[in-house]
Structure 1
């Protein structure tokens, strides 16, 4: 196969990934925009003050409902933590808002099957449980208080209020300005996400075209004993994710390539879980909390992700739920027809255009006081040449 043919195949793979997942992204971001419009950030902070089991469960539920990109999630976690929320609840919110999200589950279902959606969503809860137990075991109280007091360089924040006022969520949703706020939230999410998504699709396509399956099989020890393969793959997955610089939904095309190439179920899951330890985000933690806390978080996250992926691999294997590698992902992604994906892309594409039009007709009032997190996250991503991603 000559180089021009490989490049063409890579671009076709990337286009196929976008074709199959475009409608799911619009649906997920629209739901997220509605939730951001009707759920005030102040109420989230009030609910996350303690570090008990109920508080962690509430933080997990709120994180899943908030459905946030990795960078925005880190910014929200920073705000919660520095305003007095316990570290365990703050981190539970961050894990949930990047793993227990609607659009991520749908994209996984479309590209890789329901087993990976279940592995991501059930695994998101396992991540929170494992993280909480590890944190309780090693709790570095002095370091945590040092991080809470850490002074950030250039910490002048630009505030945005993206929530409609009202006593109940239904009352907020029925207000005339809700439609505008939803459109603004939707456009803001896309402005943070499109670069990482584009990079994820492009890298996934080129890896599928240029890296032979034998290479992935060797990396993930496909022929090794399960006693070696399961823990090794759970450890190598986050390393691969960390070095790709792509997080959350942008990781899914790469995960599909890894799975098609022979990576294990647990290895792919640990790769997906590791969207919070890509190198640019580690630098964000350093600026927010200092290098010592950033190093502690990196170690805690890595251990949490590897252990959770190994647990999920063992559990799904025992239950006979691990899917086979028989499906040809490459053929599936490069076959285009007037099927459900076409009509759903058309319908949700029209919705996206409408929301962008409403946002253009009603530019955000940057002088309005209120919610800061998404704007902070957007700056964090763009300073590194990449937009934040959901995850």
Structure 2
């Protein structure tokens, strides 16, 4: 029956959400701490050119920032407008969604630790490939047009999230700044606003993954991913993985549950990596590129990001295959449709309590008004996530 099928899909999605809940709280908590103590002005100052060292700094700063793809795109434009090099801004954008802690933890939980390692090796590879492509193909005229478009005002609050700087002001040691009343308030605001910005993508990814796991037969995936042809499947996987990502509309952390389904379905190891890396060229984000930089730059970014994700997928496949690290079994955690009393449940209870403390702090320090400003369309919600955020909030 149709109702039974829907209930089955929802049960799988719900169990997957429960499986990764504590990891999400940990990841967003650590990200909030980094964003609360690292000032935006410092980031801009460090990203003024496209040298390898600068790109490494961009990747490191991006890894500690928002994991929301929409927020990452908006923040990259903000950095670009304030003087950051375009290549460095894009490196920051890639790292913001593909090198964040929460993504690695959830990959390990749902798909396997090998994919976490692959993500943190493949991310820098993608940034290097992207930088090389920019150096070889990015023309001064296109870059000038992109900057002119980026400097124009946009209707709505497209980059409210990007303009948000909740870092703690004042001096003192890292510990003193973090444990101050202002520090706790800053962390709570970043934490809740990040959740508010990402929940649509996360819920969408879980629902899509649950539906596909419940309704699409394994035979379809085996045929689609050419699992009967070992060599062809490795060639085909990284090429088609990003295409599936673009069509799924799911970005950032939300695509990990779907990656687990695709892995069980037979996509190659490199195909999973390329699929996850393509979160920055889903259709809604391509449209945002058009608004931010113009349609020519949007098409250019789509093509170069696709190529970089494919190349990274191939190189990671070769490296891990050569090292014997590609898993021989496909047992990603997507089939469990029940919640049981185990270590996951205990961790969820503990970290839900900690999240509750941050939420209460958020609400007691002006958070209600900020949440009210996050209504509207998905892209507006993402980028207006920090629209009401100020540089800092006094307790």
Q: Tell me the TM-score normalized by structure 1.
A: 0.91
Aligned to 1:102: 101
Q: Which residue does the alignment assign to 1:219?
A: 224
Report the equivalent of 1:258: 262
The number of residue pairs the alignment matches comes to 379
| Cα displacement string for residues 240-287 of structure 1 (whole angstroms, at most 9, x for unaligned residues) | 000111101100110111111111111111111111001000011110
Q: Which moved more, 1:160-169 or 1:88-97?
A: 160-169
Note if contact 1:99-1:124 (Cα within 8 Å) is conserved in structure 2.
Answer: yes
| 1:359 counterpart = 2:362 | yes
Supply the distance in 1 between the matched residues of 2:8 and 2:380 (Cα, whole angstroms).
29
Quote the Cα distance in structure 1 between the aligned partners of 2:283 and 2:233: 26
- 1:65-80 to 2 correspondences below 5 Å: 65-80=64-79
Match of 2:392? none
Correspondent of 1:268 among 261, 266, 272: 272
Distance (whole Å) between structure 1 residues aligned to residue 36 and residue 380 of structure 2: 28
Q: Which residue of 2 aligns with 1:229?
A: 233
Structure 2: runs of 5+ lacking an equivalent = 386-395
Describe the shift of the 1:379–1:118 C-alpha distance in structure 2 as closer, same or farther (beyond 3 A): farther
After the TM superposition, which residues 81-160 of structure 1 pair with which residues of structure 2 at under 5 Å, given as runs? 81-150=80-149, 151-154=152-155, 160=164
Where 2:327 maps in the other structure, the secondary structure is coil
Give runs of aligned pairs for residues 273-284 of structure 1, distance below 5 A: 273-284=277-288
Pair 1:36 & 2:35 matched: yes
Moved more, 36-45 or 210-219: 210-219
1:162 has 2:166 as partner? yes
CA distance in 1 between counterparts of 2:379 and 2:197 reads: 12
Q: How does 1:321-332 map to 2 (within 5 A)?
A: 321-327=325-331, 329-331=333-335
**Structure 2 counterpart SS, 1:13:** helix
**For the aligned residues, what is the CA RMSD?**
2.5
Question: Taking structure 1 as reference, are residues 83 and 381 closer, same or farther at Cα in structure 2, changes over 3 Å only?
Answer: farther
| Residues 120, 213 of structure 1: alpha-carbon distance in 2 compared, 3 angstrom cutoff | same
Instruction: Give the drift of 1:148.
Output: 0.6
Alignment of 1:311-326 (within 5 A): 311-326=315-330
Give the TM-score normalised by structure 2: 0.90
Q: What is the alpha-carbon distance in structure 1 between the residues aligned to residue 84 and residue 360 of structure 2?
A: 38
CA shift for structure 1 position 330: 3.9
Aligned counterpart, 1:370: none
Instruction: Measure how far apart 1:28 and its partner are.
Output: 0.6
- Using the TM superposition, give the Cα deviation of residue 225 of structure 1 relative to its aligned residue in structure 2, in angstroms: 4.5
Residue aligning to 1:27: 26
Distance change in 2, residues 1:243/1:190 (3 Å): same
* Structure 2 residue 378 is the aligned partner of structure 1 residue 382: yes
What is the CA distance between 1:380 and its match in structure 2? 9.4
Q: For residue 329 of structure 1, give the secondary structure of its aligned residue in structure 2.
A: coil
Paired residues of 1:108 and 1:117 also in contact (CA < 8 A): yes
